[in-house]
Every structure is written in structure tokens, then in C-alpha cells.
Amino acid sequence: MFYSRDLAHQALGAHLLGLDDENFAMFRHFARSATERRRLYPLWAFNFDGSPAAVDYHSDDDFVRETPAVFELVEKSLEQFLWTRDARWLDDPDLARFARATVTRFADLHDVQGTGIAGEKGGRDIFAGSPTYNEASGTPDIQVAADALASQWAAMRLFALVAANGEEQLELLDEVERIKSLFEHEWWHDDHYITGRTATGPIVHFANEPSWFPAVKGLLDFDSERATNHLAFLSRNLQVSPPGNIEAFTYLPEAFHRYGQDDEALAWIIHLLESRALYPEVSFTLIAHLATGLTGLQPNLDGSVATRSHIDDDSWVQVEHVSIAGADISVRHDGRRATTITVHSASGPLVWNAGFDGGEHRSILVEPGTSAELHANHP
């Protein structure tokens, strides 16, 4: 079987392995399943013949659904466009319909608290609809959750920047800012962001996905005291109350790499490697953590590529023949001092934006068939 949550998180690793057609087929299948009768929820899982997985689907009123997955399917399909520059990720009618309906209508259909944030009243009953990925017993009455809020924000933001224009784009960007403001003003508690809200008030304790998803999605302000404090809250609680399932750990390198806490990110990568776990989410995400997390390799909206070393000065890391933004490239970091990029093939000169410590950035053009090297200005 293949699952919506797993697909969203494994898609980048699958792309790096050359599984673009497989990614597309599965994303499109989930998009087609998000019908009006199901209130725009895609199904949770399919058998490999494309039929609904009976263990997770009983009827259109009785099937597993978790709010973050809806938005993640949109966000991650748009990310696939940035990585591949394959127009079908934007032009396919099923994907386009699903993405637009999700970012413009889904929250209104599931706005259980009147705040514009999608949620559910089903609590822990995933067949009635759960507002969170966290299926543990610690949040039985939760109606809106931070993992869904962060996923909604990320999907709306990326759709606005990649697939929308004109008035629609402006309206979505306004909503993105509103959600961000709501999160900052109403979801902060003492030294960390809250997990979510019940009908009667906030849930403030550590709760796995709702606690780390705002960092995974980049919702925290970079270099802010709140971001530092929230990540410290994550780190403390992960030591005291680690998740019981290995796949939960697969998000942690993303959360810490995104905010420059590279030692913590590397520790969780090593934890995943040493687990030798057979769960597919571990292997697929490890490929992404190693190839893009350590290198900071990312496609930009304008078709350029970005790099930033996330290793220490005594180490090196190299990835070869990565398909990104329509180009085939290799990247090597020697510590945090020097980065080399090789463009094996591309349709034209590739714009490379190299990041270094201290907020230093430089952009150069690299012609196909050539290499370029940049050094940090700091000692």
C-alpha cells in the first residue's frame, strides 16, 4: 500500500533516486480521491492496484483522514515542480484542481473554531477526522493542531508563489501573513509554541508532530529568540520523552537544519542510520537528509539553486549527479570554507547562490559542462 503522509515525506528522496514518474502517479491518485462528497479530503491509503485500502476506508463518511496530510500533498507536489521543472506538476488538471481547492476552500469547510485554521472535532478518532498527525493519547480533545496550522501555512505560501497570480496570489499571501500573525500572537506560551487548541483552551505540553512541524515548515522566525527557545524546548523533550516510533524521528533533521542547529540535526541523522530500520520513510528521508540536508542544496523559485554547508570545518561532503531545476549537478563542501559545484548538463547557464556562515551569500553563473568554486570570506 501507499499512504498520503508517507508519500509527502518520502517524495524528495524518491526524486533523488529518479522515481519521478512514480511520485507523479501517486500524487495524482490522491488528488483524484479528494471529492466534494469527502469534503475535499483525499483518501489515506491505496493498494498498489489503485483501489482504496480497506483497512483505512469503510465509506465516504468513515475513513482515515488527518488534516496535515491534505496540505502536505499540495506543498510537496509543488516542491516536485521546483526540483524537476516538469510542467505536469502544475498543469495536470487533477493536481491543479486539488491544489487550488485545498488552499482556497478546505480551511473554510473545516474551520471548527472560526479562526480560519483547518481542524476537526473527532479528537483521536482518525476515522472521524483527526486535526493532527499525532495519534498518541496525550491530546484527546484537540480540535486544531500546530502541525496542521504549519502545513496549511506552507501549502498556501508555496501555491501563492508558484501557481497563483494576480488577485488570487495577493489574497493568498495576505492569508499567509494572517496565519503567521495568528501563530505569533496566540500560539506562544512561556518558552515555546503551543501544541494546539481544544474547545476550551490551549494545549501547551510537548506532543511530537505538533511540536516540531512549525520548525520543519519554516514557520518560526529565523535567528529569533523564540525560534531558539522553541528548538531548545524540542531538544529537551526529545531526550525526556522520545517518540515511540522510528519514523517520527525522520522529521527532526529538517527541523534543526532549517535553523542552523547542525550538530543536533546530525545527531538525529546518525540516530536514524544506526537504527537500521526497515520502515521505508527512514530510508527515503535519509537520502534527502544526506544529499540535501548536509549540503543545503535547494531549488529556488526563479530556477536558480542554493547551497549551504551544514557540516563542520573538519569534514567534507559530496553529492553527485543530483537532478535539480532541470539540471544535473554535483556539489562538494569542504568544511564550511569552500564549496564546489559542477554542472554536468543544463538547458543554459545555471545561477548558483552559495550561502556561508554569517549570512554571507554570493551568486554566480555556471555554464553547463564546467565547475566553479567559492570560498567563504570569513577566516
pTM: 0.97
The answer on pLDDT for 140 being more than 80 is: no
Write out the chain in H/E/C secondary structure: CEEHHHHHHHHHHHHHCCCHHHHHHHHHHHHHHCCCCCCCCCCCEECCCCCECCCCEEECCEECCEHHHHHHHHHHHHHHHHHHCCCHHHHCHHHHHHHHHHHHHHHHHCCCCCCCCCCCCCCCCCCCCECCCCCCCCCCCCCEEHHHHHHHHHHHHHHHHHCCCHHHHHHHHHHHHHHHHHHHHHCEECCEECCEECCCCEECCCCCHHHHHHHHCCCCCCCCHHHHHHHHHHHHHHHHCCCCCHHHHHHHHHHHHHCCCHHHHHHHHHHHHHHCCCCHHHHHHHHHHHHHHCCCCEECCCCCEEEECCCCCCCEEEEEEEEECCEEEEEEEECCCEEEEEEEECCCCEEEEEEEHHHEEEEEEECCCEEEEEECCCC
Q: Which fold has domain 2-293?
A: Glycosyltransferase (1.50.10)
Q: Among 126-140, 186-200, 243-257, 276-290, which stretch is predicted with the lowest mean pLDDT?
A: 126-140
Mean pLDDT for the chain overall: 97
| Residue 202 pLDDT | 96
pLDDT > 90 in the chain, percent: 96
Residues 6 or more apart in contact with residue 262 via CB below 8 angstroms:
256, 310, 311, 312
| Residue 143 pLDDT | 96
Domain boundaries, the chain: 2-293, 299-375
CA distance 19 to 150: 27
Mean pLDDT of 211-226: 98
Mean pLDDT of 62-75: 98
The answer on pLDDT for 213 being more than 70 is: yes
C-alpha cell recorded at residue 75: 506543498
C-alpha cell recorded at residue 303: 530556477
Q: Is 165 exposed, middle or buried (0-12, 13-18, 19+ CB in 10 A)?
A: exposed
C-alpha cell recorded at residue 326: 532541470
The answer on pLDDT for 370 being more than 80 is: yes
Residues 6 or more apart in contact with residue 333 via CB below 8 angstroms:
294, 295, 307, 309, 311, 316, 317, 318, 339
The answer on pLDDT for 137 being more than 90 is: no
CA distance 287 to 299: 17
pLDDT > 70 in the chain, percent: 99
| Radius of gyration from C-alpha coordinates of the chain | 20
Alpha carbon of 170 to those of 158, 159, 160, 301: distances in Å?
13, 11, 8, 17
φ, ψ of residue 94 to 5 degrees: the values are: -70, -45
Taking only the tens place, the pLDDT of each residue in 170-205 is 999 999 999 999 999 999 999 999 999 999 999 999
| Dihedral sign, Cα of residue 71, residue 76, residue 78, residue 82 | positive
| Res. 379 pLDDT band, cuts 50 70 90 | low
Mean pLDDT of 355-379: 93
Contact 336, 298 (CB under 8 A): no
Taking only the tens place, the pLDDT of each residue in 347-361 is 999 999 999 998 899
Q: Among 53-67, 113-127, 275-289, which stretch is predicted with the lowest mean pLDDT?
A: 113-127
| Residue 69 pLDDT | 99
Mean pLDDT of 48-53: 97
C-alpha cell recorded at residue 137: 493519547
